[in-house]
Amino acid sequence: TNRVASRELSQGLKKLQIKKQASSLQFGSRRVAASVAVASSSKKGGCVGSYLSNQRRSIKSSSRAGDGGGTTSTIPTYIWLPILGATGGITYGYVAFLEPAPFTHRTRWIATTPEQEAQMGDREYHRMLQQFQGDILPSDHTACRTVRRVGERLRMASRTFAESNPTARLSTAPHTFTVVRSEQANAFVLPNNHVFVLTGLFRYVKNEDELVAVLGHEMAHNLARHAGEKISGNLVLGMLGRLLYFLDGSGVLSLFFSQFGALFHELPNSREAECEADHIGIHLAAEACYDPRAAKRVFASMKEEATSEKGTSQRRPPEF
């Protein structure tokens, strides 16, 4: 009986130890699983946190890069504002001084006013009187009377032309007629109605019709304000030449620009101005009741003598 009891007791103890070990193993496995779960969850949370932090850093860096790119691509105000103002001023200055020429309606740029041209004409008139002081013919000379008679009729024709052509400008100042004793064949009319005739012109002019052809051509320059147009063009060319000389102290660019301006600006404009003066002068001659066909005769005779051997060696061609 004792043996049986001890055997059952030992067996019971063994079963109890087995259950205890099994329970301890099950508890340990649960703890391991819980720790693994915690570790995995913490690992996943760390990855998400690092991802979010990386996203925040990239957003911040991109925003900083966008701000930096905007500042570098935007032109500062102190640079673009003067450039815009200068461009607007130049554009306004060009458009505001554009006006059509009379008769041909050619658009040209004139920066001077008729009053300024009149003042320059008066100063040049007094300077010419001093220059030709000893060679001016008296007012009762035959040549002076002829020039004055023809000039008065052209003055009335010029007034009629200016009334029918609003773009033509005729000064209200009285005309002055000055005949100078000279071998040079020339005639010119200064702004503000100052007419000069050099006696060398009478070698080509045989009658009043031919004299009207020459004086009408010169008066036409005043009606079309060709003097102001030339002064305005020379003013712009002079300013650009000075700027190039400032940029290049050697003067090479300035010299090249002056030749370029003479070839592509002065010569074409001079030809256009002469053609306009020819057309207007013919109208003035017809309006003054003179024969406009005389212009062809007088200019042909001048060209013939200027191109002949005798004319080129002894006489200068007319400068008008």
Q: Catalytic residue positions?
A: 218
CB-CB contact of 171 with 192 (8 Å): yes
Strand, helix or coil for residue 195: strand
CB-CB contact of 151 with 215 (8 Å): yes
Structure token pair of residue 89: 């001023």
Q: Are strands 98-100 and 107-109 parallel, antiparallel or unpaired?
A: antiparallel
Strand, helix or coil for residue 179: strand
CB-CB contact of 180 with 197 (8 Å): yes
Amino acid at 102: P
Amino acid at 133: Q
Beta-bridge mates of residue 108: 99
Cα–Cα distance for residue pair 312/301, rounded to 1 Å: 14
Amino acid at 223: L
CB-CB contact of 170 with 284 (8 Å): no
Gyration radius of the chain over CA positions: 50
Residue in 318, 237, 228, 223 with CA at minimum distance from that of residue 278 = 223
CA angle 157–203–123, rounded 5-degree value: 55
Cα–Cα distance for residue pair 293/287, rounded to 1 Å: 13
